[in-house]
Amino acid sequence: MPPLGPSTILLGLGLAMAGEPADDALAALVAGDYAESSRLHVEAVNGGAVSGDIYYNLGVSLYRQDAIPEAILAWRRAAVLAPRDGDIVMNLSYARRRTQDRIEAPALDSWMFWRSSFSFSEQGWAAALFLSALGALGVVWRLRPEAPVGIPALLVGVPALALCVSTAAELSALDDRPGAVVLAAELPARSEGAGGVVLFTLHAGAEVTVRERVGGQALIALPDDRVGWVPLDALGLVDPRLPFPTPPASEAG
C-alpha cells in the first residue's frame, strides 16, 4: 500500500476546510446576492469542494445572474457528478432555451448502458470494490484450495472488468474529449487554428465536444461532425475536476 504522502494530507485538509465557502455561498444565494454567491461557489469548487449539489447551486446563482452559458457549464458539470438528478436535467433544458444555437446533443450510444446512470466516481469506486473483492477471493483460494471460489469469482470478476472498462472510458472522455460550453458571446470556428476561414459561428451557451487541444487553440466538434478551431479560453470544459471560470461580476437587474 502506498504511504500517505504530504499531498494526500493536504488534500484531506483542503476538503475538510472546503465546507465553509460552500455554506457562505449558499447563504448568499438564499439572501439573493447572486454575484457573491457565484463568487463563493466558484471559490469553493476551485478549492476542492466539488459535488453535484454545489455545482447545481452554482448553476442556480449564475442563472439568476443571467450568466446563462456559465450556468449551463455548472449544470453540465453537476450532471457528470449526479447523472440521475432530474432537477439538473430540467434546469439545463430551461437554460438551453435561452441560448441562440440549436444544437441537439447526441444520445450516448454505448453497450455500457450503465454509463448514463452512474457517475464516473460511482463507477470507479464500484470497480475498486469489485476488484478488491476479487483479490480477496484470490487470497482465500490460495489459503484454502478446496474452497469453492470459482462462481463467486466469476460473479465478482465480470462486473469488475465491465466497471473498469467503463471507468476508463469515462476518465478518457473527460481527459481527452471533454464536452465544452461556449462562454464567449460569439465564437467563430476556423479551419486552421487562429488563421483559416470561418467555417461556422457559435454563440454563448452552445455545447460542443473538444477533440484536440494544441497550445491555446481547441479543435471542437458539433454533433453533426462539423469541426473547427476556436480559442480554448472561450470555452468552459465540462470536467468537474478543473477550476471553474471566473463568473461575471455584475448582477442582472
Partner 1 sequence: MVSASLLFAALPALYAAELVLDADTQSLQVGQTIGLRLTVIDAALPGAPSWPTVPGAKIAYQGVQQSVARIYGKTSRTVTYTYALTALDDGEIKIPAMELSVAGESLRTEPLVLKVSPRAATPGGAKAEASLRAGGQPVTSAYVGQVLVYTMSFRTPEQVLDRRFTAPTFDGLVAEQTRDGELREHRTVIDGQDWSVVQVDLPLVASAAGERTITPGVMAVQVPELGRTGRGAARAFANVRNEVYSSESLKLNVRPLPAEGRRDDFSGLVGEFALSARLLSDRVATGDSVTMEITLSGDGTLAGFSLPPVPADAGYRAYDDTPTVEARVREGVFTSAAAFRRAIVPERPGALTIPAVTLQVFNPRTGQYELIQSEPLTLTVTPGEGEATLSTFAADDQRRDVEAQADDIAPLRPRARPDRALFSPRDPLALGLVGLPWLGFFGLLARELAQRARPRVDPRRALARRLQGAEQAEIGELLGLFREASGLALGRPAPSLDVEALGALPDKHRDEALRLYADLEAARYGGGADAGLRERTLRLCRALLEQG
Name the minimum Å distance from CB 81 to partner 1.
Answer: 7
Q: Cell 469469482 appears where?
A: 153
CB of 181 closer than 8 Å to CB of 69: yes
Contacting range for partner 1; rule: CB under 8 A; set: 102-110, 121-129, 147-155, 211-219: 121-129
Indicate the residue among 114 and 141 with the shorter CB distance to partner 1: 141
- Mode of pairing for the β-strands spanning 217-221 and 207-214: antiparallel
Q: Is 97 in the site for partner 1 (CB under 8 A)?
A: no
Task: Please report, in angstroms and rounded to a whole number, the separation of the first and last CA atoms in the chain.
Answer: 55
Q: Is 138 in the site for partner 1 (CB under 8 A)?
A: yes
Name the minimum Å distance from CB 208 to partner 1.
Answer: 23
**How far is it, in rounded angstroms, from Cα 57 to Cα 238?**
16
Task: Looking at residues 17 to 76 of the shown chain, list those that interact with partner 1 (rule: CB under 8 A).
Answer: 18-19, 22, 26, 29-30, 44, 48-54, 56-57, 60-61, 63
Name the strands in the sheet holding 207-214, side by side, starting at the edge strand that comes first in the sequence: 195-203, 186-192, 227-231, 217-221, 207-214, 179-182, 235-237
Q: Is 149 in the site for partner 1 (CB under 8 A)?
A: no
Q: Cell 465553509 appears where?
A: 20
Closest CA to 51 of 37, 41, 39, 60: 41
Name the minimum Å distance from CB 198 to partner 1.
Answer: 27
DSSP-derived 3-state class of residue 157: helix
Name the minimum Å distance from CB 22 to partner 1.
Answer: 6
The footprint of partner 1 (CB under 8 A) covers 1-2, 4-5, 8, 15, 18-19, 22, 26, 29-30, 44, 48-54, 56-57, 60-61, 63, 81, 87, 90-91, 94-95, 120-125, 128-129, 131-136, 138-139, 141-143, 167, 171, 240-241
